[in-house]
Structure 1
Amino acid sequence: MNTRVMDADLLSDLLFGSARPLGGSKLGDDELIQLAADAFREKPFCIVRHWMILDVMLPEFQEREIKAQGLEATLLYALAAVFDSQNKYQPGDRIVSGYQRDFDGCFFESNDTIFILAGRGARKHASFPAVQALSAY
């Protein structure tokens, strides 16, 4: 089987396979932008919709390396950026975050950004090859 077919199979399962539904903020985009701008003055933030929390299944040594940095082997995948305080992402851009520093309610924090999860999303386990295919997609 060639790499493109394997990547397509991995992505299909990742994006369309079963996942545990989660709820994010119920506020509208403009309201979220204003609240986030007031609350997160010291750290960049990004509001996203159509998101999925991915618990990445890694070899033990890689997971230890990530935990040694104070992070968890969990990523955020968002199909649509709504607003980014640094203009790194434009509205509608797809995002694959760095590993998780903190996750609480509708806030997912990576090393460099706080992501505000708007609307409904999901959580699931993902293989490292599937995450690599997603990042390359």
Structure 2
Amino acid sequence: AGLPMHQGMLNYFDNAGNAFVSAYRRHHKDGTFDIHMEYISSPNVDGAVLVVCDAMLATGSSMALVANALMELGEPAQVHFATAIASTAGLEHMKRVFPDASIWMCTMDEELTAKAYIVPGLGDAGDLSFGEKMQE
């Protein structure tokens, strides 16, 4: 779901290095989910300005997992998070976990559903960008 925003950032920050991280909600039959990270490819982030972007900041779990994985590769000089829509809970989580980071967002929706989707949000950003998931 983050790829369209990633490309938009690269269009603006056209001389920036960039990383790619595959992370997603892996849903379980009982209705719960965990955040699963399969792949990371990144230049050295030591001393760099790190911008982590994703279309939606619901709980903050995915974005925090990705940021922590990238920061294991080096210590960035600055950390920024960029999102189109954030929930109140996600924003508070990110401020608590990354107190020195900047958070760029277009808008904030206060409500999260029991399944941790932002309401009204924009729907499933990944499905809207790439089609419905085939996983169970």
Scaled to the shorter chain, the TM-score interval is under 0.3
Higher relative contact order (CA 8 A, sep 6+): 1
TM-score w.r.t. length of structure 2: 0.25
